[in-house]
Structure 1
Amino acid sequence: MSKFEIAVGSADDVQRMARWAGDEGWNPGNTDAYAFFAADPAGFLVGRLDGEPVTCISVVKYGQGFGFLGFYIARPVARGKGYGIQTWQAGMARLAGRNVGLDGVPAQQPNYRRSGFRLAWNNIRYEGPPPVGKPPAGVSLIDAQSVPFDRLAAFDRRFFSEARDSFLAAWITLPERAAMVALRDGKLAGFAVMRSCRTTSRVGPLFAESSDIAAALVSALAAKMGAKAVAIDVPDINKPGVALVEAAGMKPSFETARMYTGANPEVDHAGLFGVTSFELG
């Protein structure tokens, strides 16, 4: 009889999970897995069938009351046999008692609802030529690595429900990416990261106090990275964000539902022009 076991994964397993996500068409960044692992090294579960990895899920803890679920994958050989739901149950058990968020692909959304998740908004991946723009008057753009980290982390907290310092430190410094902030009167008014991916380079996060600042950040990052096309995962509740990417000629290519088991976290939705990642929120 085949033996199926679920256990915490290794750093190498997280790299494999990212490759599997690429196979599913999710297009993670080439070096994203290093930041994911830094966020919560015990938050990545792998299901093995007779010793071979066939399922996975990430269940990353943030603070004392929040968690984010991602990387829920069953390889084709393991589908329809109950291994996926066992992996799901193990993941949810790790986040018991927390408000759990996820970005659900359309095919799985009915299952997520049955598990107690409810829709907050939809994230739409737009791909195409990057917006072109210069910073508005009084705003300057600089490398995010030159900003005192406590200031950057505080700005990030406006748009994400909990502190995520270990993740953020890796996210802005890993290879194959660039990170920039916008400053107005010495205060942060925007923050964005672009990273190389298997296919189109992706921008996330994209936080900004106005669509003009968001456009300037993406335009500057694309120039720095030499990206002729970019992808941004835009919350559909941010109408100026949708208008920005559509005006640039970007087209929808992928969609997920941002869902939570509890109340929607109180964040600055008006400045959330692009989510950081589908895997960790």
Structure 2
Amino acid sequence: MKRKMTALAAAVAAGIILLSGCAAAEPAAEETTATTSAIDEAAAALLPEEYKDGVSVASDIPYAPMELFDENDNPTGFDYDLSQAIAAKLGVTFTFNDQDWDGIIPSLQSGTHDIIMSGMNDTIERQQVLDFVDYFNAGFAILVAKGNPEGITALADLCGKTVAIQTATAQIDLINAVNPSCDSKIEVLEFPTDGDAQNAIRAGKAVAGVNDGQVAAYTAQTAGDGAYFEIVNPADSPEGYTSVLTGVGVLKENRGLTEAIQAAIQSLIDDGTYAELLAKWNLSAFAVSEATINGTK
């Protein structure tokens, strides 16, 4: 769900090779070999030999509560915790690295990183380049100023208004799907980060933002100690946007790595670790019952 939709449809039309340019990654400060849970021998046996020395995770930080930095600038959040639990099941080290969103898929293609864990939506377009191990299920929510001064209750209420959204995200696709039904189109202001989009709402440059449900809820709860925003859960999402799977992104040619991660996540679901991590981040409502591959059809 981050979410996020790169400009992949255009890249596919022009040739997937155009994604080969890579944004420079900024390694996060923490590297952890998870040892708090027993290795799942069956899952570990699926891991290709080339990853026995470790797996590099690309993540666009922050995107709370999925990924953020703690007070010591170390990565934390649900995705980070899940990455370390997967590492424990596979008996290897997972390093969690800060990577700009626009360069996150190219960072896999260039070999800088191995997988993506960044609240990334499993979409049909992305499946042309990536396989997804789905571990999260949520939809979209509208973030509005506290008190909802514009009286926004549905996506249709955004017609003729301006919304602030992080660039290259699935939320922009959602607005594009809503616009054909509007007499006056929704204007989208795109920003490089989700925080910038939130600031635009606070500054009155936009009446609302659209975000993944769990991120919008976290923002409304924590920003200004709950004083800045509230959320609206729209009931009029277009077909294909009512529920969104989030997954670990792996290049399609790395099928062995995909299968090992799927087995590890399923093991975490089966032994209850997955549920514990969701509860820690108040995300239990977004659980999946099975770690599917490319569950979006």
TM-score by length of 2: 0.27
- Looking at both structures, which has the greater relative contact order when contacts are Cα pairs under 8 Å and sequence separation is at least 6? 2
Question: Relative to total residues, which structure has the larger strand share, 1 or 2?
Answer: 1
TM-score by length of 1: 0.28
Question: Relative to total residues, which structure has the larger helix share, 1 or 2?
Answer: 2
